[in-house]
Amino acid sequence: MLENILTPKVYGPFIGLLVAYLFYKFLSKLVDKVLKIKENGKKHSNVQYRKEKTIINLIKSIIKYIIAIIFILVILKVNGVDTTGIIASLGIVGGVIGLAFQDTIKNLLASLIIIFDNHYMQGDVVTINGFRGEVIELGFQTTKIKSYNGEVMIVNNSMITSVINHSMYPNVMYLELTMANNISLDELKKIISNVNQKMKKLKEVKKDIELLGIESIDTNKYIYQVMIEVTSESQFKINRVFMEYLKAEYEKLNIKIPPEVIEVKKDINSK
């Protein structure tokens, strides 16, 4: 009985599966090495890293499907099935499959267009068909987008009709500072400079804070406008940090905080 169990037809699929898995892992690491993915790119979320990562995921998907097909053919061969006829008929079957899987082919072509036309990449914040979130996966068939509150939308690539990429360029925040009129412009510039020294250490802040000037003048207060370039989805975080640092500067200089300190003028749809 043991001899019947220890036959190629029995243990062959397990060995073949193990070999296929190890071969896939080897090719995956080889692809990473060839395309020179660097982990420091991930920390900075640069465009080149995200593009390489997206392309690599697609290449790995192709490798996975090819290895799966080869594995199935090998198993059939071990079990005595004539795979030569199967391979020869793939051309004919390909036409039938092409008709049966039109949507699959459309999704594949759409994914290639998305990547090579730089519509968006893995890690970008986008609005697709009215849904806003971070692209957590761009695959052969679908794109997965995760909103700030954890919802995940899965959409077929061929069904994407509109895309707004919020990560292509830095987002601009316009803030209003309401200051008592006994604070001079030079004093305010010094305060902004001190805050900027702390803010520019944050990876979300792309440029130095810019004091644009006086927005309006009231009886006992001046309203100044400040501009900050930040990454997408970080506006509320940067707003809170800016307020914290500004408050610290007020307390250091013993400046009384006006009733209205900061108002975010730009309409921000996410937190």
Tokens of 270: 């996410």
Residue spans per domain, the chain: 2-165, 171-264
Query: Taking a C-beta distance cutoff of 8 angstroms, is the pair 42, 122 a contact?
Result: no
In the structure encoding, which two tokens stand for residue 238, read together? 């940067």
- Give the mean pLDDT per block of 10 residues along the chain (271 residues): 56 73 80 60 52 72 80 73 63 58 77 81 87 86 88 91 83 83 84 90 88 82 87 82 89 70 46 43
Residues 6+ positions from 37 with CB-CB distance below 8 Å: 49, 52, 53, 56
Cβ–Cβ < 8 Å for 116, 51: no
Q: Which fold has domain 171-264?
A: Alpha-Beta Plaits (3.30.70)
Q: Of 27, 14, 22, 23, nearest to 56 (Cα)? A: 27
Paired tokens of 154: 């899965």
Query: What is the length of the chain?
Result: 271
53/36 Cα distance (integer angstroms): 10
Residues 6+ away with beta carbon under 8 Å from 174: 212, 225, 226, 227, 264, 265, 266
